[in-house]
């Protein structure tokens, strides 16, 4: 495990935003309050587990760069919103206006140590195609990190979470509602092998009951052959 690199100070980031933001002052302060008051909890936990601060990370759906700003040199963010991209660029980040559903030809192959796909696959019409398109972007030994909401197995837990309104798996903004098993299946049918499932702060043996989880996956040639064969079979029908 490489030594941990200290997090970029939040005060330093906020000062940079106020100096460079292309948005009006009130809009800038709103973005700071919502996105940069502190690093997202999921990001903090990921930074403790993987060496993202020194790694080349492709941030898919980078928004205002609130995760991208903490990744290592050579990292790139892609987003469909021009305001998000302009804002991220104002911070000196490599952000690109790109619709992932239309392809990723503008992003170099083999250039990234990690693919960061956080709160994205639930919102896409074709999440499997995105993961397939991302696969060539990984360098040798690289990892796909997918963070998503899933339906807990336990009906009692689901009911309790809904009463507390801690039920992200029921979001009306999502096109898909995943379970632990279907999330793993999605990743595997895109040509990867799931290496670990991590559901903070849930112990490992309870991960299948968590409402949010990380899947860590590596490129897998056997899984890729299965995925390619299924694509050929479905196209022939």
Q: Does the predicted model carry a pTM greater than 0.85?
A: yes
- How far apart, in Å, are the Cα atoms of 198 and each of 19, 124, 208, 216? 37, 22, 10, 8
Tell how far CA 146 is from the center of its chain.
5
pLDDT for 6-31, tens place per residue? Answer: 567 889 999 999 999 999 999 999 99
> Per residue in 25-75, pLDDT tens?
999 999 999 999 988 888 999 999 999 999 999 999 999 999 999 999 999
Q: Backbone dihedral region of 107: left (phi > 0), alpha (psi from -120 to 50 degrees) or beta?
A: beta
Provide φ and ψ at 60, rounded to 5°.
-90, 115
Could you tell me the two tokens for 159?
């009911």
């Amino acid at each position: 495990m490489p030594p941990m690199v200290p997090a970029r100070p939040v005060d330093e980031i906020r000062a940079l935003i106020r100096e460079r933001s292309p948005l009006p002052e009130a809009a800038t302060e709103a973005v700071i309050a919502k996105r940069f008051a502190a690093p997202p909890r999921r990001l903090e936990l990921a930074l403790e587990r993987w060496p993202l601060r020194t790694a080349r990370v492709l941030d898919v759906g980078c928004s205002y760069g609130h995760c991208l700003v903490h990744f290592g040199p050579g990292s790139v963010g892609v987003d469909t919103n021009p305001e998000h991209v302009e804002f991220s660029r104002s911070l000196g980040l490599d952000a690109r206006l790109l619709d992932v559903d239309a392809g990723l030809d503008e992003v170099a192959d083999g250039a990234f140590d990690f693919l960061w796909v956080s709160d994205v696959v639930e919102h896409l019409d074709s999440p499997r195609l995105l993961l397939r398109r991302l696969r060539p972007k990984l360098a040798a030994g690289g990892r796909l990190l997918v963070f998503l909401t899933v339906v807990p197995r336990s009906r009692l837990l689901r009911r309790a979470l809904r009463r507390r309104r801690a039920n992200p798996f029921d979001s009306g903004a999502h096109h898909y509602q995943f379970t632990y098993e279907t999330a793993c299946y999605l990743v595997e049918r895109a040509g990867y092998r799931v290496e670990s499932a991590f559901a903070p702060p849930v112990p490992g043996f309870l991960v299948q009951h968590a409402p949010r989880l990380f899947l860590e996956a590596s490129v897998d040639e056997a899984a890729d052959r299965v995925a390619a064969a299924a694509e050929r079979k479905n196209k022939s029908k």
